[in-house]
Every structure is written in C-alpha cells, then in structure tokens.
Structure 1
Amino acid sequence: MKAVIMAGGEGSRLRPLTCDRPKPMVPVMDRPIMEHIIKLLKKHNLIDIGVTLMYLPEEIKDYFGDGREYGVNLQYFVEETPLGTAGSVKNGEEFLDQPFLVISGDALTDFDLSDIIRFHREKEAAVTIVLTQVENPLEYGVVITDREGRIKQFLEKPSWGEVFSDTVNTGIYVIEPEILGLIPGKTKFDFSKDLFPLLLEKGYPMYGCVMPGYWCDIGSLAQYRQAHYDILSGAARIEIPGKELVKGVWVGDGTEIDPDTRFEPPVFIGDNVKIGKDISINNFSVIGSNSILDEGASLKKSIVWSNVYIGKKGTLRGATVCNRVKVKSHAAIYEGAVVGDDTILDMYAVVKPGVKIWPNKNVEKGTVLSESLVWGTKVSKNLFGTNGITGEINVDITPEFASKLGAAYGVCIKKQGQVAVGADGSGPSQMIKNAITTGLLSAGCHVLDLGQTVAPLGRYAVRTLGVNGGLQVSTFDGDKTRISFFNEKGANILKAEERKIENAFFREDFSRVTGNQVSLPSIFPDIINCYLKDLTNGLDVRAITRNGFKIFIQYDNVCLGEFVPRVLEEVGCDAVFARDDNNGFEQQSKDGSHYVTKEGCDLGAIFADDGERLILIDHMGRTLDDNMITALVSLIMFKTNQHCTVVVPVTASSVIDQIAARYKGKIIRTKTASQFLMNKVLDTQVVNTQTTYKQYQLQFDAFKTFVTILDYLAREKISLAQAIDSVPRFY
C-alpha cells in the first residue's frame, strides 16, 4: 500500500496565512500541517508517498526533501496547469502501481488509517471513501450508504433543505490502481464531481467507511485556531512537540523562561523561545520557535508563529501572528485578528477584532486599525497629510474607507448640519464622493451634492450656501485621489479639526441616526452658473474684451475641459486650447512656453488639475512660478487697495516687504501649511482692508487669479511681461 498526499492547495480562504506559502505549509503547533500528515502515514507503515504539488511547490520540496529525515520516501508530482483532485493523482500514475491511500496535505486528522485499509480489503472495494459525522454538513460532500457501507448517493455541499445525512466525505480515499484508467490524462477531473459519480453509474464497488476520531479540513481562519485548541485540549490525538514541563505546559528545547512567568494551561512553547519577566501566558496559547516575549507581555488564546517579537506590555487576545512579526511595546492585537509575515506594529498600535493584515506592512505608532490592510505598505494614525487625505484609489482609499470617513466627518459636524460635497468628473472621484455621502447621511447630516466641481467651486459653494462644511474629491496622477475638507468659510480645516476626524475614524466613534432621520442628498447642479457670475463681479469685463487678449490655455482634467472655456467666455477672450493628460504640471510649463511664442499669444495659463494652482507665461515664454505669482498678486493687492494687509507664508521673498513699503501696506506672515494661510487670509481684519480685489480669491482660486490679472492688465493697459518687470527682482 502506497500513499498520496494532495498538497497543491493555495488556501485562499486562509489568507494572509497563505500569502507566502502553500496551505500544507501553514504551521499547526509550530510544525507544517503536512508534517503531521506524514507522521500519521508513517505510524501506519505507509512510507512510500507521492506528493501532488501546484501552488509554490518549491516551498514543500525544500522543506521535506526526499522524506528521509521523516523515515519515509517522498516523490513529487507537479501540476503545470490545474488538474483537479483526481487529475493531480493521475499525474503520478506510474508511481501508483499498487493500492494507495489518498489524503489531503492541508487537513488534520488522527484517524486509524490501518483500520481504513483493513475495511477496504475486507469489502474488496474499488474505492473506499472515509466518512465522518459533523454537526454542519453544508460545507462538505454528503454521502449515504446502505447497511453494508456500500455507497448509494452523493450530494456536494447541500443546502439545509437537501441534507439527508450528517456523514461527510473527508477527502481520504483508498483506491485500487486500475481506477486510474478511468481518469483522463492532462484534464481537470475531480474525485467528488467527476470520478465518483462515474464509478457509481458503472456499478463499481464503492464503500464508505465511517471513522471515529478527529478530522478538520482547516477551511477557515476560525477552524485554524480551533485546530490548535483541539490539540491542546486533547480532543485531537496529535503529537505535541517538546516536553510537558508541568501538566498542560509543553516546552521545546533551548527555551528560557523567567521563573515569575504565569501560565494558565494548556500552553505550547516551541524551541529557543525567550520569555522575560512578569509575563502571562494563558490557556490555549501557542508560541513558535525562536520567538521573544519581553517584560510584561500578555497572551490569551493566541497563536504566535516563529521568530516573533512581542514587546514590553504587548497584548494578544485570540490573535494569530505570523513569522517574523514585531509587536512593539504596548501594542495590542485582539480576537480573530491575523497579522501577516514580516509586519511591524509600532508602539501603542491597536489591531481591532477580526482585522487581517497582509505581509510586510508597517502599522505606525498609536494607530488603531479597524479595517483589514491588504494593499500598500504602511498605515498611520494620521489620515491627513499636508493637503487633505491622499492615496491610491481602491488601495489606500476604497469605498469602504470613504464611507467610514464620511461617518467620522459627520460626527464632527453639528447635529443635522449641512455639508456640501463635490468631485471632479472622473469615475474614481465620483465613486468616492458617493461613498462619503453615504457615511455623512448615516450620521444624520444633510448633504448638498454639487455634482462635478473643482476645489475653488466647492469653496465658493460652502461660503455662498452658508453650510457647516464641505469637501472636494479630486483625482490626480492617474490613479491617486485627494479628499479636501473645508470649514464654513470654505478654507481648509485646521489641524484641530483634522484630529477630531481622525479620532472619530480610528475609534469608530460614530453617531448613527435612525432610519427616519436619514435624508436624501439635495442636488445643486446650477452652482457653476452662480460661480461664473460671481467670478467677474467687480471686474471691468468690457476693458478685458476690448483688449482682445489672445491666450494659450492648457489643462489636464476632464472637469476643467468643461469649465475653463466658460471662464474665457465670461471675459470675452480668444483662446488656443490644449489638453495634456500625460505630463506633470511642471513639465507642461515647458511645453506651454513653446506654444505661447509659436502661436504669438499675449500670455499663457496652465491650470493644475485641482483648479487652485496656476502657471502663467508671458508673450516671451517666461513662466511665473508660485513665488513670482505670490509677488505679482501682492503687487496688485497693494497697488489697488491702499494701505491694505496681505498675508504670505514665512517662506515668501522679502521682495514682498519692499512692495508693501512702497504702497504703505502691511504684511502678515504665517505658517506655510495651506490651512493656516487660508484661514488668516479670511480673517475679518484682513478682508476689511481689501476693497478692489480680495486676496483669498486671488491666492486660492486659479480662475479668479487668472481673470483678475487680466482685469489688472486691461485697466493698467500693460502686458503681463511689463507687470512682471514691475516686480522687484528676487533670487
């Protein structure tokens, strides 16, 4: 009698445990599942073993080799394409020249295989299927037999209405070699779906052997944990490595345990583990080899793999932690959570129940992780960066993330407050906007949907409609998304407000309303027309039109393509349009300079995808960067608003101080972050000094900046080049 271990399983339902290894190599009690199977086979004198492989086959070959170390002879058969359960065994047909036992390499059992073989021979069966009784047969193939054990009927994974037996197929078979002739070669063919119904139809003697004992196919993360608990409790008669130091505490070789360690059996500790002072290891915990537990760490019902570090006061409760994970001091992992290989949990990080972390992730200090982390490499307790929340679409920023973010933002808005939401015309932005809207509605907010917008339009809507806050979703660099939050003035929210949203998000401290308190979003499609009318308010449009500017315009956003021409139409300018979706904002300035001079334009304007940044080009091809535009805007403000106050970042050139002195104006310098600058610019004491032009619109609205500069040039009857030359030089 030979044996075949089916070890080609990918184990997708066990991810992230199986991200870097085939399912048979997932450790149970610090040993791969397949190692337990090999020991069981050897115990029953099945030492000539074929192994069918497909997913990551070298992982298994490298670990077990030829089997000599385990007292068996292993031969491997690798599937190049999926062949199904029966097809994979057919792949080793030359090896299987006598009756053979088939067993899964990713299930755990203590069945008496000798009894199964004896049953097969006594019945003179062509195939014997090992059956066992389970409480819930829905996930397995149900088998019904007559009194002699001969199989009469199969049903694969029935519903409760179809269940006619609690005896299920364990995936362990004894098969006569001639049966292999009924399996087509190099074709996907399954035992349960294809071969067994065929044998039943042809009248082959097939028997079901109902076995007492333990069997678990480890088809889920919960079953994986339960398998450990069953072994430690004695429900599964599977060898526990190491020595039983005291009753219910097994310890491997070379392990160092501080005398003050508190145990609550049953517990297993592998080889060369170091356990520090004041550590508590409670019932049903498993610690893999070469791991370190630092002072004050505490484990309950947790499974820790090899080479893991648990820092001071680290806490594990019902968690599974894979190889080489570092759990730093005061970090905590809770029930049902799984942490993949080579992940680092920094100090005070918390992984909430049921969260799964894929391998090679970095959870930053103090982060509370309440959603599974699959993509990306790092998660932080800070959602906000220097300019809102940014990330890769459907990787960092998913609809689930966005809905939760909307609920968190809703908590920070006053009860039944109004929020204006907008997004550019891209599919990803609209998707994320809709998801955020869902979260806001669940928190009881009234949502005003602005449709397709850009940030300046969203800011304008917040101020004009008198709502409590707003947000804009924008796509940039092809696959990245930015979410910008506005306060009631239309400025970016301050750090304190960002922290409130972050705290609500990570703590999941959401205030949900009842169903009858959830409102429908209000649609405001006409906001763009209101904005365009306001855009030219206070400008001498006739003077701009009379000037007859010929302008080169470039943009890289679908929404801008619908919006920018209407801006030019409002001021009656002739424009040469170009769209560039491939090059970055800065690269476009080089191309724009060429076009301006080539087409003989008076000036050029390149709009960034967010509608807030602008590059200007004079007729000679000279470009104005952010610093130069800040200086030019300051000049316009001081020249047209006598004795006014202008706000600039601390990094702005001292040239602006010279301009202020020339026109008897005042400079206020702020931190460089946009929210500080915006909110200071909107300060009443600053705004009241500005009569002709308002700095806020000039500084943070590229369209208003553009048309205001056109207005200034038309009134002064100068070119953009002359305006640039009137600004003192700076270096």
Structure 2
Amino acid sequence: MKAVIMAGGEGSRLRPLTCALPKPMVPIVNRPCMEYIVNLLRRHGIRDIAVTLQYLPEEIRSYFGDGGDFGVNLVYFTEDTPLGTAGSVKNAASFLDETFIVISGDALTDCQLEKAAAFHRERKALATLVLTSVPCPLEYGVVIADREGRITRFLEKPGWGEVFSDTVNTGIYILEPEILDYIEENRMVDFSKDLYPRLLAEEMGLYAFVMEDYWCDIGNVEQYLQAQFDILEKKGILLPLPGTEIRPGVWVGRNTRIDPAAKTIPPVVIGDDCSVGPGARVGPAVVLGKGVRVGRMASLKRSVIWDHAWIGERAELRGAIVGKGGRVLSGARLFEGAVVGDRTVIGEDSELKAGVKVWPGKWVEKGARLSNSLVWGNCGRARIFGSKGITGELFTEITPDFACRIGMAAGSGVKASGRFAIGSDGQPDTLMIKNAVLSGLMSTGLQVIDLGKVTFPVIRYGVRAFDLKGGLHICRRGRGKISIRFLNQCGAEYSRDEQRKVEGLLGREEYRLTSPEAVLPVEYLPDAARSYINYLLGFFDRELTGRSRIKIVIDYDPDRLGSLVADLFDALGCEVITLATPRNQDRTFAEMLKTAELFGDVVRVEGADFGAVLDAGGEEVIIVDEKGRIIGEEALDALLSLIVLNANNRRTVLALPVTVPESVVEMARDRGAEVKRTKTAPWALMQAFLDEDVLVSQRRCPQFLLYGDALAVLASLVEFLAQEGKPLSQVLMEMPGFTTVRKNVEVGWDAKGKVLRRLVEDVGERRLDTDEGIKVQHPEGWALVLPDADEPLCRVYCEAFNQEVAESLSEMYVQKIRDLCGDGRASD
C-alpha cells in the first residue's frame, strides 16, 4: 500500500507561526508535525509516499529530502495553483497505481492504519473515511453512517442547528485508484465539498471507519498547544520524546546547561544547546526548542518556545508561544494564548494579554501593554458570531479597539470602491462603539454612509434602498451588552460563510488598509427613518385603514421609536394609545412578556382592537388581542402566515422555519400555497425570504418585510383587521388549532455533538429530518431538538394532537437529554 501526505496547507489560523513556515513543518515537541506522520506510515509498513506541496514547498523538501533518513521513499508533487484536497491527490495520479492512504501532514494521530485498511478491504469500498468523535464538531466535516459503515450523510463545518453527530472526518482516507477517475485534472476539487457528495449521490462504495485512537487537528493556537501537552502528559498518545530523561518527566538535549539553582517541573522537554539561568522555573508542560536561553528568575508554565528564542530575566510566560528567534526581554509577561512571531522583540516590562498575537519582525516598546479583546477563543466558544451578529459585554468582550478591528475586518471583506452603511441606536455607549467601528471601516477605503440614530429594520431597508454593499448596526442587547449586527448587500444578515470570512480576517489580522490620501469622508443620510416609513406605507391600503380607525394600545421606548410609531400610525389613520416605557429601558423578551401580562386590562378598558409591547429596537413584538389575551409565538407565526397568504394570490410560496407547527403548513397548502421549510437562524430565514420564487409570489405583503420588524407586523395586522372586519380573537379562533410545547435543556458546549449523535442513534425506524437539529416524527406528533447557537443548551419543540401528548413527548426528550448529560435541567 502507498500513501499520500497532503502537505500544501498554509495554516492561516496558526498565523503568525506560519507566516514563513508551512503548517506541516510547525514543530510539535521539537519535531515537525509531518515527521510524526512519516514515522506513523513507516511503522505500518508504508514506505512509498507521495507528498503534495503548494505553500513554501522548499521548506519541506529541504528537511525531508528523498526520505532516506526517515526510512521511507518520498516523491514530491507541487501545485502551481491551489487544486484543493482532491485535486492535489489527482496531481499525484502517476504515482498511485494501487490502494493508497491519504493523510494530512498537519494533524497528530496514532491511528491504527492496518485496522482501517482491513475494514476497507472487507467492505470492498471505493473510499473509506476514517472518523473520530470530538466534543465540538463545528469546525469539521460531520459524518453519519449506517450499521454496516456505509455513509448516509455528511455536512462540512455545520452550525449548531445543523449538527447531527459528533463523529467527524479526520482527513484520513483509504482509497482505490479508480477514485481518481472522478477527479478532474488541474481543477480545484475538494474531497468533502465536491467529491464525496458526488459519490454519495451516485451511491458508490463510500464507507466510514470510526477509530478509537488519538487524533488532534493542529488547526489553531489552542489546538497546537494542546497537542504538545497531550504528548508531554501522555494523554491518549504515546510518542518518543527527544533528548535524555535525566529524571522522571524531564527530557534534556545535548549541550544544554541548567543552573543548579533553576527548577524544572515535569513534564518538560528542553532541546539541544539550551541554557536555563539561576532561579528560573521551567514547567510544568513546557517545551524549549534548540538553542533557547532562559534568564535568571524567569518563570515558564504550559508554554512552547521555538528554536533560538531568548527569555529574559524575570519574564513570565503562561500558556504562551514564542516563535523562532523571538526575544522576550526582562520583566515581560505573556499570558494564555499569546503568540510572539519569529524574530519579534517584546520590550522590558511589557505585557501581552491573553490571545494577543505579534507578527514576525516587530518591536514592542518597553512597558507597552498590548491587550486583545477577542476573548471568545479563551472561553470555549467555537465562533464569535451568535444568532444575531457579535454580542458581548461592554469593556470586556466589546471594547473600542476590538470594535475598530471588527470594522477593519468587515471592510476588508467588501470591495474597496463600495459604499457601506453604519448606524446605531444612538445611546452613548453604542455611539462610542459605532465610532470605533467607523474608523475601522474608513481605514479599508470604503465610502461609509452614516444613517445616524436608526433601528435595525431601518438600516436593513437603507442597504437595499440606497444600493449599498452592506451595513453594520450597533445597539444595546439587554443590560450591559452591545450587539454588532452585519448586513450584506441584499439587506440580509451575514450568512455563515460571510461570518466565517470576517472571523478569519479577525483571527489572522489580515486587513486591507488604504493609503492615507485615499481615506474617504463620511457621507451622512439623516432622513433614512422617514424614507423607511414611506417605504412601509407603500405596501398598505391607507384609505381602507383610515376608514376603519383601528384602535391600538402600544408600549414602546419613545426615545428610539417615538417618531417612527407616530408617523406610521398617523398615516394609517389609527387611534393610538401610548404606554411609553422608561427611556433607554432595554427589556428582555421575558420582561416584555411580564409587561404584556399586565397590559391586557388596559387593552380591554380602552376598548382597543389589540395591544402591542415592543422591544427598544423595534424588532420583537408581543401582541394582545382585544380580550387582553397574549398571542403566543406559534400563534403569531400562524397569523402572519395567514396575513401573507390573504394579501397575495393562491400560488404564494411561503417560507416557514422548521419550528412552525405542521398545522400552519397544512393551512398554507389548503390555500394553494407552496411551503418551503427553512432553518431558524436569522440569516437563513432572510435568505429564504429573499429567494426569487418567494419574492415574486409575495409582491403585496412579503415575508421579508415582516421578519424582525415590529412596526411592519403591526401595520400589516391593522390592514388585515380592516379587511376582515372581525375581532382579532375571532380570527384566531377560526385558524387551525395546534398544540405545541417548548422546553430548554442545559447542555454544555462540549456535549452537544454527543447528545445529538445519541439521539439520532435512538431514532430507530421513525422518520428523521436533520436539516436543522434533529426532528423526529412520532405517530402522535413530532419532536425537534435544536442546539442553541448562543447558549449552552438545546431547545426541544414538540407538536401533538393535544396538550397532554405534547407535554409527554417533550418530557421524554428532555429526560433523554438529561440522561445523556448527567445534570441537564429543563425550563419552559
């Protein structure tokens, strides 16, 4: 059997460590990562090895040569342009005339390859993917297979709502030469995105082998450090350590001098030609490369120091990495996740806070304090984006310097000649963050259009109306938190791919900065809110609403919504009774519900047609009918669907999220509509609402108009009641009935993948839908388990014939999840 080592990766998420080094050459306990893979193949009797190269190929060629020094025969295949994972293997087709293994040169594993090969031969597979289980599957290809190992479904880098297992693709494949016939020459082809979906669709022999051995993807700084610690602490992988073990857990290379007054705390690996000064403390979990000098009284814990770096007197390193030839001068302090690039100097008594990265060849002056507010990587979040943009606490997670970099990252992802909107809710703290974001946007050469103090629906309208390339909105999100929301040129929230692009630019700190003379002045458009109201009014029959004189009681924030509410409902001819909330009162949805519970009496006493409680930003709304009863979320979804159907023709295409009850779907189909199920994420919903077939069929009252826009919802309800001539309570009674239950179950971030996989395994013969979360059909109804993108919990949705059955079904899934987690607790 032959092998292919894929060694063309740039390792962009590991920068600045990989600025001048290909990812497979990044040292793991003083040996290049790829060397461990070469030794693994040799131990399994595989000596004929192709190596695919693309980024800095000479670094790999010069180190490994023809492979003779490592007991193997290496043949190199270099890509002139990137060809993708499958394309790079196709480039080595002339070498591959028998069953072969494909393995990444930048992952660490002790996979029992012979077991995987035996499995492959037994199944007579065309391709066998080696899988492993991971706690957080978001950055990998998730795979699910049947009992025989035949792959039935996989998804590359899913969101939590798309996760259906915790078994992921390791990038280790056993393939037959015939598979090369499916790969076009000199074309960008990826195994996971292109080739395997095609093979799956054609029902070719695509199998999965789940290994129980150690595997670690050296994908980012945290994983890179963890791989070192796993080897040192012998957690799951046993590899020979370089040097001589002078005492248990302390490995020292040749010509190394350790002062008698220094202390080494195992496990520690110290390379050749090093020196450790008096009073220094090295360890636990420290790796020193070749020629490293550690000064007097320095203290190093859980850190990795590359060749020829110097650590000065009294320097303190905690979970840090210092690149080749780096200099950390006396008294400097580096904290968890801090990275110092090659040949960079960190000045005396300076400080690099957690997560700070300094690129190669830089000089940090004496006493400087470099802080990085990108704290998510240090608290276990897989992504900085939540369900609605980037949200965090002011001055801890969202600070002005971080906001500026957000602006630079967002601007760098847009063409420099583009016009880009920005706006905020006008509060002092959000204005501060807005100005920081604005600076970042301007630095990338964009023409920034400042819409001023506006709500999110207004800026969404502005992006579309003024033909802009996108927009950012900064607002408060609950007490003490700030939210930065992103809109693309369609006026939809950033998709997951667009989010990843921003995260990648932030992580790599690769910003497109314009020249000083090319910085453009800000253009101000202060009348966007008035234009937005005129736009809304264009969808409704103002003569009809004016004759009906619908009476409404509204609770809202007058500071942020006052002029919008007054202008809209005056134009519609409504009689509005205002119950204004205290200014700048940022209520949660739960607090809005409590207000609505007390609100019903006012609606009844005033004889209003309905009442509404709005959030401060004009996005969320709770509606109370004329009898003072709160309309639940599912009932409101059904009502809005009915409004859209009534306003348009019978060939309406309706986009409904997977959480909407089946009775609403049946209602739509009974009225001649086509229903498209969509995911619940805001970006996915807006994307579905903007699909051409949906838009064309909804010219009168489109779903995109109503989504996340409380004022548009209220205006559409006013017109609907005017048309129907019935009380709202009667309309609700005439709608199809449904019984739904929602519960939340606490599930740790690391347990979500496991929980979903186990639930899938327990489905049996019942119909299963994994488009988002896990939706299981039962004879008496359905249950949906949906991982939350922002919180460590899963949401359980159930619909059944009656309340008792729905409660029973939901409790069954709640208990299953609790059992899998051990201590999960449910709440309504």
Q: TM-score range by the shorter chain?
A: 0.5 to 0.7
Secondary structure in 1 aligned to 2:245?
A: strand
Counterpart selection for 1:478 from 490, 494, 517: 517
Which of 1 and 2 has greater Rg? 1
8 A Cα contact 2:354 2:372, kept in partner: no
Residue 248 of structure 1: how far off its partner (Å): 1.4
Structure 2 Cα separation of the partners of residues 34 and 98 of structure 1: 23
User: 1:32 corresponds to which residue?
Assistant: 32
8 A Cα contact 1:357 1:372, kept in partner: no
8 A Cα contact 2:373 2:402, kept in partner: no
Structure 2 Cα separation of the partners of residues 372 and 61 of structure 1: 39
User: 1:704 corresponds to which residue?
Assistant: none
Structure 2 Cα separation of the partners of residues 477 and 219 of structure 1: 35
User: 1:256 corresponds to which residue?
Assistant: 257
Residue 371 of structure 1: how far off its partner (Å): 4.3
User: 1:315 corresponds to which residue?
Assistant: 316
Confirm or deny that 1:230 pairs with 2:219.
Answer: no
Structure 1 Cα separation of the partners of residues 202 and 515 of structure 2: 64
Residue 161 of structure 1: how far off its partner (Å): 2.9
Structure 1 Cα separation of the partners of residues 103 and 210 of structure 2: 15
**Structure 1 pair 68–369 and aligned structure 2 pair: CA distance change class (3 A):** same
User: 2:295 corresponds to which residue?
Assistant: 294
Confirm or deny that 1:120 pairs with 2:159.
Answer: no
User: 2:174 corresponds to which residue?
Assistant: 174
Confirm or deny that 1:400 pairs with 2:404.
Answer: yes
Structure 1 Cα separation of the partners of residues 301 and 171 of structure 2: 33
Amino acid at match of 1:45: G
Secondary structure in 2 aligned to 1:130?
A: strand
Amino acid at match of 1:167: T
Structure 2 Cα separation of the partners of residues 238 and 116 of structure 1: 21
**Structure 1 pair 344–96 and aligned structure 2 pair: CA distance change class (3 A):** same
Residue 282 of structure 1: how far off its partner (Å): 2.0
Amino acid at match of 1:332: R
**Structure 1 pair 477–172 and aligned structure 2 pair: CA distance change class (3 A):** closer
Structure 2 Cα separation of the partners of residues 172 and 430 of structure 1: 43
Amino acid at match of 2:172: I
Residue 402 of structure 1: how far off its partner (Å): 13
User: Any residues of structure 2 matched to 1:269-288 within 5 Å, and which?
Assistant: 269-288=270-289
Could you tell me the TM-score, scaled by structure 2's length? 0.46
User: Any residues of structure 2 matched to 1:42-57 within 5 Å, and which?
Assistant: 42-57=42-57
Structure 1 Cα separation of the partners of residues 112 and 339 of structure 2: 33
Structure 1 Cα separation of the partners of residues 135 and 74 of structure 2: 35
Number of aligned residue pairs: 415
User: 2:333 corresponds to which residue?
Assistant: 332
Structure 2 Cα separation of the partners of residues 267 and 243 of structure 1: 11
8 A Cα contact 2:264 2:282, kept in partner: yes
Residue 190 of structure 1: how far off its partner (Å): 1.1
Residue 81 of structure 1: how far off its partner (Å): 1.4
Cα RMSD (Å) of the superposition? Answer: 3.8
Secondary structure in 2 aligned to 1:55?
A: coil
Residue 7 of structure 1: how far off its partner (Å): 0.7
User: Any residues of structure 2 matched to 1:532-571 within 5 Å, and which?
Assistant: none
**Structure 1 pair 27–125 and aligned structure 2 pair: CA distance change class (3 A):** same
User: 2:546 corresponds to which residue?
Assistant: none
**Structure 1 pair 431–318 and aligned structure 2 pair: CA distance change class (3 A):** farther
Amino acid at match of 1:35: E
Amino acid at match of 2:156: E
Secondary structure in 1 aligned to 2:517?
A: coil
Structure 2 Cα separation of the partners of residues 480 and 317 of structure 1: 40
**Structure 1 pair 137–430 and aligned structure 2 pair: CA distance change class (3 A):** closer
Secondary structure in 2 aligned to 1:244?
A: strand
**Structure 1 pair 101–330 and aligned structure 2 pair: CA distance change class (3 A):** same
The sequence identity of aligned pairs, in percent, is: 53
Structure 1 Cα separation of the partners of residues 311 and 50 of structure 2: 39
Residue 515 of structure 1: how far off its partner (Å): 7.3
User: 2:217 corresponds to which residue?
Assistant: 217
User: Any residues of structure 2 matched to 1:51-70 within 5 Å, and which?
Assistant: 51-70=51-70
8 A Cα contact 1:151 1:206, kept in partner: yes
User: Any residues of structure 2 matched to 1:341-420 within 5 Å, and which?
Assistant: 341-371=342-372, 400=404
Structure 1 Cα separation of the partners of residues 38 and 406 of structure 2: 48
8 A Cα contact 1:356 1:372, kept in partner: no
Secondary structure in 1 aligned to 2:74?
A: strand
Structure 2 Cα separation of the partners of residues 168 and 476 of structure 1: 44
8 A Cα contact 2:284 2:302, kept in partner: yes
Structure 2 Cα separation of the partners of residues 135 and 348 of structure 1: 38
Secondary structure in 1 aligned to 2:261?
A: coil
Secondary structure in 2 aligned to 1:478?
A: helix
**Structure 1 pair 161–372 and aligned structure 2 pair: CA distance change class (3 A):** closer
Secondary structure in 2 aligned to 1:4?
A: strand
Structure 2 stretches of 5 or more lacking a match?
Answer: 375-400, 408-434, 454-472, 481-513, 521-582, 587-828
8 A Cα contact 1:338 1:355, kept in partner: yes
**Structure 1 pair 515–247 and aligned structure 2 pair: CA distance change class (3 A):** farther
Q: Deviations over 1:431-479 (max 9, x none)?
A: 99x9xx999x9xx9xxxxxxxxxxxxxxxxxxxxxxxxxxxxxx99737
**Structure 1 pair 369–182 and aligned structure 2 pair: CA distance change class (3 A):** same
Secondary structure in 2 aligned to 1:219?
A: coil
User: Any residues of structure 2 matched to 1:582-621 within 5 Å, and which?
Assistant: none
User: 1:303 corresponds to which residue?
Assistant: 304
Confirm or deny that 1:96 pairs with 2:100.
Answer: no
- Between 1:328-337 and 1:92-101, the stretch displaced more is 328-337
Residue 310 of structure 1: how far off its partner (Å): 0.7
**Structure 1 pair 185–280 and aligned structure 2 pair: CA distance change class (3 A):** same
Residue 516 of structure 1: how far off its partner (Å): 8.1
Secondary structure in 2 aligned to 1:199?
A: helix
Structure 1 Cα separation of the partners of residues 516 and 159 of structure 2: 48
Confirm or deny that 1:76 pairs with 2:76.
Answer: yes
8 A Cα contact 1:399 1:431, kept in partner: no
Residue 372 of structure 1: how far off its partner (Å): 9.2
Structure 1 stretches of 5 or more lacking a match?
Answer: 374-396, 404-420, 445-474, 482-513, 518-731
Q: Deviations over 1:150-177 (max 9, x none)?
A: 2222222223333222211111001011
8 A Cα contact 1:126 1:176, kept in partner: yes
**Structure 1 pair 477–120 and aligned structure 2 pair: CA distance change class (3 A):** closer
Secondary structure in 2 aligned to 1:138?
A: helix
Amino acid at match of 1:72: V
8 A Cα contact 2:442 2:519, kept in partner: no
Secondary structure in 1 aligned to 2:94?
A: coil
Residue 196 of structure 1: how far off its partner (Å): 1.4
Amino acid at match of 1:134: V
8 A Cα contact 1:22 1:59, kept in partner: yes
